[in-house]
């Protein structure tokens, strides 16, 4: 008997972070997530998540717009439809609604969770099958205070939870940012990988100065130093330095990656399910990246456990994540809305093995943090 979608519910959940998280464009102390629940006529339910950073500070979708556009435009396209082919449902949404990639990713996540529960298999199986059961995961140092960041990193290294670190910079003068990073790198030593994320804050001239200093300081990677669509500048910078560049906001999907490759970019690509429109499209982007000789990195929009879980399932199907991942979002939150937290240990996170996403909603916590 074919299962049909009967009900779609959305809600915004607000959970405080363990500390302020400072980026070049905003500082956040609360993460707001749109949770999606899809039910079918056989009593199964799938859950999804759509999350961005700092309201509209990071991109064109906000928690409020994600919820409204799912409720008003996307959910009506799915209700009453068969669950037999998720790709046909994805196409139905794509042909009718432009953009809104985070909203579409949330729905795709819930659809995959629902289908995985029907079939009794994890989402990774639906995406081709897991190659890895443990995904390496770095930690982002984003307090903005050098001494605090050093102490935080050393504690995490000692606990065995993380051994690679990314620093958020770009909100201060380039000389201050470089001095901050260089001090942390020197304190942590040669055996610890330190990367930076500029979040588009520099122009090409500033990036040239900053990257030269970061390269001299022993930094391993520079993420998105220049504005998103300045592909030519990103390509020139990648050819000028031996320190690799990671493209993030500049590439949303496989088409963007192809355009960047045509310009001679020789760095890496930050994959994100949210900016691609879902894990299926993110894996398309991974194929184009790998075919162009670009290394892969599993990126995040600081999703909670639901959004993180689906990304982990997707990344587990890739032969190699050259730069690891940053799927630490749940660890940045003071609390969780799932019953059993994801399993972080040995500098990474375990890929869930049970059916669907492998997570279960904690209804009491959901009521506590749900926006009224």
Q: Which of 168, 185, 272, 275 is catalytic?
A: 168
Burial category of 51 from C-beta neighbours within 10 Å (exposed 0-12, middle 13-18, buried 19 and up): buried
Listing DSSP states for 224-278 in one string gives --S-TT-HHHHHHHHHH-SS-EEE-TT--SHHHHHHHHHTT--SEEEE-HHHHTS
Listing DSSP states for 108-133 in one string gives HHHHHHHHHHHHT-BHHHHTT--S-S
Long-range contact pairs involving 143-148 (C-beta distance under 8 Å, separation at least 24): 143/19, 143/20, 143/22, 144/22, 144/168, 144/171, 144/180, 146/180, 146/183, 146/184
Which of 341, 353, 297, 299 has the alpha carbon at shortest distance from 320? Answer: 297
- Residue indicated by tokens 């309201």: 55
- What's the rounded Cα separation, in Å, for the pair 265 and 235? 4
8, 75 Cβ separation under 8 angstroms = yes
* DSSP percent split of the chain into helix, strand, coil, nearest 5: 40, 20, 35
Phi-psi region of 304 (alpha: psi -120 to 50; beta: other; left: phi over 0): beta
CB count within 10 Å of CB 31 equals 25
Q: Check if 326 is active-site.
A: yes
- Which tokens belong to 185? 């790198």
- Which tokens belong to 122? 């994890």
Q: Which of 49, 61, 249, 326 is catalytic?
A: 326
- Which tokens belong to 236? 């020139």
279, 127 Cβ separation under 8 angstroms = yes
Determine how β-strand 27-40 pairs with β-strand 245-247: unpaired
List, by residue number, the catalytic residues.
Answer: 168, 326
């Amino acid at each position: 008997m074919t299962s049909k979608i009967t009900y779609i519910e959305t809600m915004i959940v607000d959970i405080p972070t363990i500390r302020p998280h400072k980026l070049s464009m905003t500082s956040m102390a609360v993460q707001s997530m749109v949770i999606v629940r899809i039910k079918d006529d056989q009593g199964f339910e799938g859950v999804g998540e759509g999350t961005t950073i700092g309201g509209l500070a990071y991109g064109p979708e906000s928690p409020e717009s994600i919820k409204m556009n799912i409720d008003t435009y996307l959910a009506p396209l799915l209700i009453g439809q068969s669950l037999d082919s998720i790709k046909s449902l994805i196409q139905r949404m794509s042909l009718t609604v432009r953009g809104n990639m985070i909203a579409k990713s949330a729905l795709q996540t819930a659809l995959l969770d629902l289908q995985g529960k029907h079939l009794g298999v994890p989402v990774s199986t639906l995406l081709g099958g897991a190659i890895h059961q443990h995904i390496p995961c770095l930690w982002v140092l984003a307090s903005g205070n050098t001494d605090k960041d050093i102490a935080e990193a050393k504690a995490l290294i000692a606990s065995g939870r993380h051994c690679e670190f990314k620093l958020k910079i770009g909100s201060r003068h380039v000389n201050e940012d470089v001095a901050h990073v260089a001090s942390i790198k020197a304190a942590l030593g040669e055996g610890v990988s330190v990367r930076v994320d500029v979040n588009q804050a520099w122009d090409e001239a500033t990036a040239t100065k900053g990257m030269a200093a970061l390269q001299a300081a022993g930094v391993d990677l520079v993420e998105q130093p220049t504005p998103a669509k300045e592909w030519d500048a990103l390509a020139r910078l990648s050819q000028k330095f031996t320190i690799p560049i990671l493209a993030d906001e500049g590439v949303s999907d496989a088409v963007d990656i192809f355009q960047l490759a045509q310009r001679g970019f020789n760095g890496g690509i930050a994959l994100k399910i949210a900016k691609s429109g879902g894990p299926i499209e993110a894996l398309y982007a991974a194929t184009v990246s790998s075919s162009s000789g670009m290394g892969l990195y599993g990126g995040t929009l600081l999703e909670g456990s639901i959004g993180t879980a689906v990304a982990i399932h997707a990344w587990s199907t890739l032969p190699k994540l050259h730069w690891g991942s940053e799927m630490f979002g749940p660890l940045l939150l003071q609390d969780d809305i799932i019953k059993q937290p994801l399993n972080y240990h040995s500098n990474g996170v375990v890929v869930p093995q049970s059916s669907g996403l492998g997570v279960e909603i904690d209804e009491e916590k959901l009521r506590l943090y749900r926006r009224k």
